[in-house]
Structure 1
Amino acid sequence: MYIQIHNQIKQDIEAGKWKIGDRIPSERDLAVTFGVSRMTLRQAVQTLVDEGVLERRIGAGTYVASQKVQEKVSGVTSFTDLMLAQGKQPSSKTISYHVAKPSLSEIEKLKLPEDAQVLRMERIRYADDVPISFEVATVPYSLISSFSKSEVTRSFYHTLEHKGQYILGGAQQTVSAMLASERIAEYLDIKRNEPILRLRQVSFLQDGQPFEYVRTQYVGTRFEFYLER
């Protein structure tokens, strides 16, 4: 249900019902409009916030996000390899793992037909048992249907390369700042509204096929991005 609401709000924004900088109705009003609980409505809105479509302003409500200045970051590196290169032991905790219909955003990012299915998984990623990030990753189910859950959740990129014999290509990445929601703060052992870094990434195989759309929220005091020109 929250995906359907996500899609409708996104369609309304694209149709011009709300423009960049406009405040959308309160969660209470939207819940009444869609005939759902505030919890379901909040999940739909939070998904749009995570995708950068909406933005929350403390004490002021939720607004259609303005376009940000973008910095290009190149390369595709797995979390596992990144942590090992830093001399840290990577690990992860899977919060959810299920096959579902894709949202409009997922269809657009992964260039999927509307009748496709995707694997959507949520994980907390750790370095030496310290929570570093929370991620929501969406992958075309047809790409990983022959892999086991452990093969996907343990080290997805390694499984693609070594078992699937896929060659990884580049990625499109967007990094921005936001405040931790109550849920994310609990997962990452930080305070609510603490600054965090948000990475939205679409990863591609060497032939240009997108194979992953991931939204990751990093603890700002435990992780930094390094750009090399």
Structure 2
Amino acid sequence: MESPVYIQIHNQIKKDIEAGKWHVGDRIPSERELAVSFSVSRMTLRQAVQTLVDEGILERRVGAGTYVASQKVQEKMSGVTSFTDVMLAQGKHPSSRTISYHIANPSLSEIEKLGLRDSEQVLRMERIRFGDNVPICFEVATVPYSLVKNFSKAEVTRSFYHTLEKKGGFEIGGARQMVSATLASERTAEYLDVKRGDAILRLRQVSYLKDGLPFEYVRTQYVGSRFEFFLDR
């Protein structure tokens, strides 16, 4: 199965950065220049670049272009808690709307984060998560397909962690979490009912089972005015 064009472009740009074509702090070519270089539409190119921005590999600077991101301070937060549990603990009704759900070849980033072989496939899903019908976050989650192939779509999208534990018999362990600030893109703003450029909290997380096996790589964008993180010391 061939990867979507935007994933192929994502992979090539990531390879170019790792090979030293661009260094931390360098401005990459404009979307127009890159679209011509890859012989694709600007929409396809923009999707590839946005994926790299969401992963923290690139960063947009208003009025200045797109740059290879500098290292951010990383703060460890406690435990792995499902969105469903967080909402219930706050007395809110959790729900979600699935935007996309498909089996695909993993990107280079997904291979690295989940420790996959090139031949393995992943389930990649996009969801808007709600608390009391108010959009809280937009989430792109990737999990090894072998882990979820026996679960239904409803079981995975409604509460993935509960399904893993109750039906799969897996024990969920810890997570590596990275939080940074960004601005809502046009697409994210539409999904979360905010204005383009509004403050967004971006969480990138790799979750592990008790045995240390990574089972989920998720990129989540939270509405800054509707969600906050706190640290347990």
- TM-score normalised over the length of structure 1: 1.00
Please name the residue that 2:182 is paired with.
178
Q: 1:168 maps to what in 2?
A: 172
Aligned residues of 1:132 and 1:188 also touching (Cα < 8 A): yes
Q: Percent identity?
A: 79
CA distance in 1, matches of 2:94, 2:51: 26
Letter in 2 for 1:152: V
Structure 1 CA distance for aligned equivalents of residues 53 and 38 of structure 2: 18
| Aligned counterpart, 1:26 | 30
How much does 1:70 deviate?
1.2
State how far apart, in whole Å, the 2-side matches of 1:130 and 1:122 are: 17
The secondary structure found in structure 1 opposite 2:8 is helix
CA shift for structure 1 position 69: 1.1
Aligned length: 229
State how far apart, in whole Å, the 2-side matches of 1:115 and 1:209 are: 18
Answer yes or no: is the 8 Å Cα contact 1:72–1:173 preserved in 2.
yes
Q: Which runs of 5+ in 2 are unaligned?
A: none
Q: Does 1:144 align with 2:148?
A: yes
Q: Which residue of 1 aligns with 2:46?
A: 42
Equivalent in 93, 100, 103 of residue 96 of structure 1: 100
Would you say 1:70 and 2:48 are equivalent positions?
no
1:84 alignment partner, one of 88, 95, 99: 88
Mapped pair 1:196 → 2:217: no
Paired amino acid for 2:36: V
* Poorly superposed stretches of 4+, deviation over 6 Å: none
Which residue of the partner structure matches residue 211 of structure 1?
Answer: 215
> Is the aligned partner of 1:105 residue 2:109?
yes
CA distance in structure 1 between the partners assigned to 2:181 and 2:104 by the alignment: 29
Query: SS at the partner of 2:29?
Result: coil
Which residue among 18, 28, 36 is the counterpart of 1:14? 18
In structure 1, how many angstroms separate the alpha carbons of the residues matched to 2:8 and 2:167?
Answer: 35
Unaligned runs of 5+ in 1: none
Check whether the contact 1:3–1:44 (CA below 8 A) recurs between aligned residues.
yes
CA distance in structure 1 between the aligned counterparts of 2:163 and 2:154, rounded to whole angstroms: 10
CA contact (8 A) 1:74 1:172 kept: no
Q: CA deviation at 1:228?
A: 1.2
Distance 1:69 1:186 in 2: 29
Tell me which of 217, 225, 228 is aligned to 2:229. Answer: 225
Distance (whole Å) between structure 1 residues aligned to residue 197 and residue 26 of structure 2: 22
Q: 1:138 & 1:118 partners in 2: Cα distance?
A: 6
Q: Distance in 2 between matches of 1:53 and 1:74?
A: 24
Looking at structure 2, the residues matched to 158 and 228 of structure 1 have their Cα atoms a distance apart, in angstroms, of: 23
RMSD across aligned C-alpha pairs, in angstroms?
Answer: 0.4
Partner of 2:91: helix, strand, or coil? coil
User: SS of 2:166's equivalent?
Assistant: helix
Q: Distance in 2 between matches of 1:25 and 1:200?
A: 25
Q: Partners of 1:31 and 1:144 in 2: how far apart?
A: 35
The answer to whether residue 8 in structure 2 is matched with residue 4 in structure 1 is yes
Structure-1 separation of matches of 2:28 and 2:50: 13
Q: Secondary structure at the match of 1:33?
A: helix
Paired residue type of 1:158:
H
Q: TM-score, normalised by structure 2?
A: 0.98
Tell me the amino acid that sits aligned with residue 168 of structure 2.
G
Q: Deviations over 1:135-178 (max 9, x none)?
A: 00000000000000000000000000000000000000000000
